[in-house]
């Protein structure tokens, strides 16, 4: 059992919020959101220093379920005007294990997104019922981080807490452009920035804080918990959203915000020979207010709560893993600009599209 823990603990620090991959549709949570199956502290020759671990994690989902607050807007699918996002991301992450307490990580994401909608491609006066598509592909925001187990593994082999601090760099294109259909003069295509939810980056340099913990409760049975927060001090990135073209009522959403992000997970896992089976819950989202800096301009705050089964297969130097978070509760919360637009008793709350589930597949190599 202990021989698998180095890779699994490294994966925990790596795949929680590894980098800049949109995770749940129009609420632009950028994450691969991988698995964690720690049941005890890694120990042995692999943690004496000089170890490398390469992790490749791929995430896919399709979002088309619209929510205002936590109310499902099923009529969007019935009339066929829902927004659909197809999002793929692959994170290439490399961990350096210095010893049994210290490690460091660099994560490089490659992202591919497609967005299908009607309202963006049929702005007045060129009204039409045709659906259009925009897409983005390229490098996302790179992140580096350092990690330390707080307690000595020699005296605390069955339970421990890891702290990680990192920097997220603005390497992903946050002004990616594609052609919007039927919006130019005479209904011609026009080159514009794509929607915030499929931008490759957010344009901010952020600080990340992570906590990863585990405890062994019985033979081959353990509990895990993780928490992640990305603080983006920059208020907006200056990128035009063109939302004022869609409706004058949302003119205060003409520029893209650079929001914070958060995620937390808790669950249990059971090891059986070369397999580790895990089950838990997770919450991830975009807050209404950032902890540092302003929170205005355009963002879609909200969160999703999911149940998350996962499975890992272990070889001596290679681990394969998969997880499928399934949404059980989704909410598009009221943004700062929603509140600014609310001048009377009518509650103003923008909507957002969420996915029913996502699929994570990964492989890690101990080099």
What local confidence, expressed as pLDDT, does residue 202 receive?
Answer: 95
Instruction: At 259, list the tokens.
Output: 């929001």
pLDDT digits (tens, 9 = 90+) for 294-324: 998 999 999 999 999 999 999 989 999 999 9
Q: pTM of the entire structure?
A: 0.90
CATH number where 217 lies: 2.40.160.40
> Which position has the token pair 């980098």?
19
Instruction: Identify the residue whose tokens are 């709560």.
Output: 305
Instruction: Kindly tell me if the per-residue pLDDT of 32 is higher than 50.
Output: no
Q: What is the mean pLDDT of residues 3-18?
A: 43
The percent of residues in the chain predicted with pLDDT above 90, rounded, is: 71
pLDDT tens, position by position, 33-51 = 444 444 445 544 445 567 8
Mean pLDDT of the region 53-82:
94
- Kindly write down the DSSP assignment for every residue of 167-199, as one continuous string: EE---S-SS-EEEETT-SGGG--EEEEPPGGG-
| Domains identified in the chain, total number | 1
CA dihedral 102, 108, 114, 115 (to 10 degrees): 60
Instruction: Give Cβ neighbours of residue 168 (< 8 Å, ≥ 6 apart).
Output: 19, 20, 141, 142, 143, 204, 205, 206, 207, 208, 230, 232
Give the pLDDT band (50/70/90) at residue 119.
confident
pLDDT reported for residue 18: 42
> In which domain, by residue range, is 38 found?
2-366
Tokens of 322: 């998969």
Q: CB of 348 within 8 A of CB of 341?
A: yes
Residue 76, token pair as written in the block: 């969007």
């Amino acid at each position: 059992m202990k021989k698998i823990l180095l890779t699994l603990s490294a994966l925990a620090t790596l795949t929680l919020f590894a980098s800049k991959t949109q995770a749940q549709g129009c609420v632009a949570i950028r994450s691969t959101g991988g698995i964690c199956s720690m049941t005890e502290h890694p120990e042995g020759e692999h943690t004496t220093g000089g170890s490398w671990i390469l992790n490749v994690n791929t995430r896919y989902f399709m979002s088309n379920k619209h929510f205002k607050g936590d109310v499902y807007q099923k009529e969007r699918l019935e009339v066929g005007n829902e927004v659909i996002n197809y999002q793929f991301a692959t994170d290439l992450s490399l961990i350096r294990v210095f010893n049994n307490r210290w490690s460091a990580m660099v994560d490089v994401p490659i992202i591919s997104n497609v967005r299908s909608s009607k309202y963006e491609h049929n702005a007045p006066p060129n009204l039409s019922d045709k659906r259009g598509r925009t897409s983005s592909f390229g490098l996302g925001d790179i992140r580096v981080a350092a990690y330390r187990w707080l307690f000595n593994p020699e005296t605390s082999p069955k339970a421990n807490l890891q702290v990680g601090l990192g920097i997220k760099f603005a390497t992903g294109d946050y002004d990616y452009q594609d052609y919007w259909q039927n919006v130019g003069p005479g209904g011609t295509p026009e080159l514009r920035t794509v929607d915030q939810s499929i931008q490759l980056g957010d344009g901010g340099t952020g600080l990340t804080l992570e906590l990863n913990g585990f405890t062994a409760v019985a033979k081959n049975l353990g509990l895990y918990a993780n928490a992640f927060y990305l603080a983006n001090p920059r208020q907006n990135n200056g990128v035009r959203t063109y939302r004022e073209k869609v409706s004058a009522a949302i003119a205060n959403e003409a520029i893209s915000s650079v929001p914070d992000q958060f995620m937390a997970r808790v669950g249990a896992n059971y090891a059986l020979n070369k397999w580790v089976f895990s089950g838990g819950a997770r919450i991830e989202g975009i807050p209404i207010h950032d902890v540092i800096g302003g929170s205005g301009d355009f963002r879609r705050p909200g969160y999703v709560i999911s149940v998350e089964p996962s499975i890992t297969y272990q070889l001596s130097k290679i681990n394969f893993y998969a997880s499928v978070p399934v949404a059980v509760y989704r909410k598009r919360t009221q943004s700062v600009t929603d509140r600014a637009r609310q001048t009377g008793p009518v509650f103003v709350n923008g909507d957002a599209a969420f996915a029913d589930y996502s699929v994570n597949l990964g492989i890690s190599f101990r080099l």
